[in-house]
Every structure is written in C-alpha cells, then in structure tokens.
C-alpha cells in the first residue's frame, strides 16, 4: 500500500482518485483538512475498501509513526503543504510550520520506519516529495527554461518554504540514504482546484457576475499543466525514477495571465453564454500587483521525457476546455466551497 499526504487538496485528491481507478494497491490518505482540504473531493471513494482516510498533521510525528507501523506502506507521496502564494505574503507562519517543520517531522518518522524494514522492503521503499517550479525563482523573457540544475532562488515565503523542504529531502538522501525522489512541477489546473487560484477563481467569479482580477499588467507568464498529467508524471517517477534524483515536470505551455483570462472568458461565452448577452471579458479588472510577483516560470521537462519516457497527454486547449466544463457540471461542489459547507463534509458524510 501507499501513504499519500495532502490527499484532500487539489492535486492530492486527483492523484488518489486516479490511483484507485488504475491500481488495486490500497491507499492510506493523511490530511490535516485545512481550509484547502476538502473531503468531498474523495467522496466517490467513500465505499471503496482500498481507500482509507485519516485526519492528521504531517508534523505529528507520533501519529505518522503509528500509521507507518500499522499500515507498512511501500511508499510515501508527500503533497501536504500550504500552497497559495498570496496567503504566504499575508501570513507566512503556517507555511514555515507545515512546509518546513512538518516535512522535517515527516522525514524523521519515515527515516525511523524505513531504517527498521527488512532488506527487501527497505530497498523497494520510496519517499516521493512533490514540489514546485517556483523554487527556481523568476526568468526574464527569452531566458532558457528551468532545468533541474538551475540554482534555487525562491522569491515568496511560499517558494522559500518549499525550497527548504526540497533541501531537507535531498539531505535525507545524501546523509541517511533515504530513498527519495523529488518532482518540481509547473502550475497545475483541472478539477477540484480551490477557487482562490487563478483559473478556478476566474470561472467562479465570471459565472457570479463578479470582477475578474488581473494583477499588474497581466503579462506574467506561467507554464500550465493539466493536473492529471502531473499525476501521471508522479506515478512514472515513483515507478522508474532514479533514487535521489529531481525531475522537472511541465506542459511546454507558457502563457501570459491575460491570455489565460481571455481563453477562460471565450470558453464560458461559448459553453454558458451570459443571459445579458455580454462577453465575460467585460468583467476583467486590473488590480494592484502582487508584491514581489515573479515575472515568468518555464519548465524544461526533457529529463523526465528522456529518462522515464513521460509526456503530457493533454494540450492546453483540451485541458482547459475539460476544466471549464468540469466547473459547469459541478456547481454543487463550487457552492459547497463558496458557502463553507465543504468543511462540514466529514460530519455530513460520516456522522460523529
């Protein structure tokens, strides 16, 4: 079985749903259920005997040690993190606690568990740490995309805390021989994305007749990857990745934010035209820029393609259409998030 942390969040839940659809191997989910954790994302697994969920903190060393001893996973995949740059600017402390201190406690518990495994299980064990391209800092126009050798230059409290966790993971391999793998991925989009991030915020605000806030001049560039492609990359690295190695994961899809906003508006105009007959683009509003806003991220994903044969399955055009359609088809999920009812999902679903 595998242990997946942060499994009620955006990428973790997509990963667990895809894993359970593709594999017979059981999954133990561990998530603290912060504001970003939504158990409704995993509702379709509530009767699946191969999936179990535990609410808890990766920084709770005693709990993690007990779960490892009881369930004896062959791998730990660590998605748990505070993940929103704007929140890290307003209040960095949670980011330091979970992304740095929490990862440290998780690594310590995993090191003790792994160290006591019999030889065969010990050599088969993997700790896969899910990280971000933001640790590499910002690129100027036409500068080559980030390779795995690019120096770390994190610019926000979020990216600095992820960079610190990457360094800890690296050190646990170098010093203790812990069999680790790290992935650094570009911006994801797709189902179950919390509507504080750009793409789901645009869809939700557009339909509600609200402003579509574009920071600064909207010319910041991100490399966008459909979430299910990120999940397939993680499965690929888990299966075939070389121990101690880092793999950059990206969609070869650099877009300026303003282009993303117009693409989402065009799709909504087509799929759910506004009753007033106006384009959603009329709701675009330029707002004050994010402090320290990184100008451009771009991922060079040639290593994972060359060594492990991974490539994204979706283009941006197919992925963004699926995403907009998913939000239109899942208004109940959106409403539960917006009303805050998703936080009562545990009681609603499982009673006391």
Does 185 bind ligand NAD (CB under 6 A)? Our answer is yes
* Region 254-273 residues binding ligand NAD, contact defined as CB under 6 A: none
- Collapse the DSSP code of 222 into the 3-class scheme (helix H, G, I; strand E, B; otherwise coil) and give the result: strand
234 vs 265, beta carbon nearer ligand NAD = 234
Stretch that binds ligand NAD, among 27-35, 107-115, 120-128, 301-309 (CB under 6 A): 27-35
Nearest distance from C-beta of residue 153 to ligand NAD, angstroms: 17
Q: Catalytic site residue 158? A: yes
Query: Is 94 an active-site residue?
Result: no
The active-site residue out of 57, 82, 134, 314 is 134
- From the list ligand TYD, ligand NAD, none, which binds 250 (C-beta under 5 to 8 Å, kind-based)? none
List residues binding ligand TYD (CB under 6 A). 85, 187, 197-198, 201, 213-215, 220, 222, 257, 290
Q: Is 105 in the site for ligand NAD (CB under 6 A)?
A: no
89-126 burial string, b = 16+ CB within 10 Å, else e? beebebbbebbbbbbbbbbebbbebbeeeeeeeeeebb
- Partner whose footprint covers residue 255, from ligand NAD, ligand TYD, none (CB < 5 to 8 Å by kind): none
Does 11 engage in binding with ligand NAD (CB under 6 A)?
yes
DSSP state letter for 208 = T
| Identified binder of ligand NAD from the candidate list 53, 79, 172, 316, rule CB under 6 A | 79
Burial of 49 (0-12, 13-18, 19+ CB in 10 A): exposed
Which range binds ligand NAD by CB under 6 A, 53-61, 254-262, 324-332, 339-347? 53-61
36, interface contact from ligand TYD, ligand NAD, none, CB < 5-8 Å by kind: ligand NAD
Residue reference for tokens 């557009």? 206
How far apart are the C-alpha atoms of 245 and 328, rounded to whole Å?
A: 39
Q: Taking CB under 6 A as the rule, does residue 36 contact ligand NAD?
A: yes
- Give catalytic status of residue 226 as yes or no: no
Distances (CA, A) of 176 to 27, 115, 169, 238, 266: 26, 9, 10, 20, 52
162 binds, among ligand TYD, ligand NAD, none (CB under 5 to 8 A by kind): ligand NAD
Binding piece for ligand NAD, criterion CB under 6 A, among 8-16, 204-212, 300-308, 326-334:
8-16
| Four-point Cα dihedral 307, 166, 133, 122, nearest 10 | 30
Non-local CB neighbours of 151 within 8 Å, separated by 6+ positions: 136
Distances, alpha carbon 318 to alpha carbons 44, 155, 253, 313, in Å: 24, 32, 12, 10
- DSSP assigned state of 150: S
Place of tokens 């667990």: 16
189 touches 224 (CB < 8 A): yes
> Do 227 and 235 touch, CB atoms closer than 8 A?
no
Stretch that binds ligand NAD, among 31-39, 140-148, 236-244, 259-267 (CB under 6 A): 31-39
Q: If binding is defined by CB under 6 A, does position 3 make contact with ligand NAD?
A: no
Rounded Cα gap, residues 198 and 9, in angstroms = 16
By CB under 6 A, tell whether 251 contacts ligand NAD: no
198 binds ligand NAD (CB under 6 A): no
The residue among 80 and 267 lying less far from ligand NAD, judged by its C-beta, is 80
Among 29, 88, 103, 132, binds ligand NAD (CB under 6 A): 132
3-state DSSP assignment of residue 57:
coil
CB 225 within 8 A of CB 192: no
| CB of residue 224 to ligand NAD, shortest distance in Å | 9
Chain residues in the site for ligand NAD (CB under 6 A):
5-6, 8-12, 31-34, 36-37, 57-59, 79-83, 98, 102, 130-132, 162, 185, 187-188, 194
Q: Which residues are catalytic?
A: 133-134, 158
């Amino acid at each position: 079985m595998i242990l997946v942390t942060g499994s009620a969040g955006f990428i973790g839940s997509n990963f667990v749903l895809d894993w359970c659809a593709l594999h017979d191997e059981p999954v133990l989910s561990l998530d603290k259920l912060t504001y970003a954790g939504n158990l409704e994302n995993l509702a379709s697994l509530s009767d699946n005997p191969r999936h179990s969920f535990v609410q808890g903190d990766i920084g709770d060393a005693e709990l993690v040690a007990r779960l490892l001893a009881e369930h004896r996973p062959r791998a730990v995949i660590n998605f748990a993190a505070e993940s929103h740059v704007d929140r890290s600017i307003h209040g960095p402390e949670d980011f330091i606690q979970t992304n740095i201190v929490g990862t440290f406690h998780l690594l310590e518990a995993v090191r003790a568990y792994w160290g006591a495994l019999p030889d065969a299980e010990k050599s088969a064990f993997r700790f896969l740490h899910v990280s971000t391209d933001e640790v590499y800092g910002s690129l100027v126009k036409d500068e080559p995309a980030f390779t795995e050798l690019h120096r770390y230059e994190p610019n926000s409290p979020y990216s600095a805390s992820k960079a610190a966790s990457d360094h800890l993971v690296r050190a646990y391999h170098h010093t203790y021989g812990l069999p680790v793998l790290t992935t650094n991925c570009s911006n994801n989009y797709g189902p179950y994305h919390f509507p504080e991030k750009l793409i789901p915020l645009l869809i939700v605000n557009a339909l509600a007749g609200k402003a579509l806030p574009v920071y600064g001049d909207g010319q910041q560039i991100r490399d966008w990857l459909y979430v299910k492609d990120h999940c397939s990359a993680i499965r690929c690295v888990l299966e075939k990745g070389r121990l101690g190695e880092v793999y950059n994961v990206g969609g070869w899809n650099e877009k300026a934010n303003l282009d993303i906003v117009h693409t989402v508006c065009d799709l909504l105009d087509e799929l759910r035209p506004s009753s007033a007959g106006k384009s959603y683009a009329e709701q675009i509003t330029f707002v004050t820029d994010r402090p320290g806003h990184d100008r451009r991220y771009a991922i060079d994903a040639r290593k994972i393609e060359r060594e492990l044969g991974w490539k994204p399955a979706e283009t941006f055009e197919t992925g963004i259409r699926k995403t907009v359609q998913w939000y239109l088809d899942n208004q109940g999920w959106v409403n539960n998030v917006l009303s805050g009812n998703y936080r009562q999902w545990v009681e609603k679903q499982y009673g006391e």
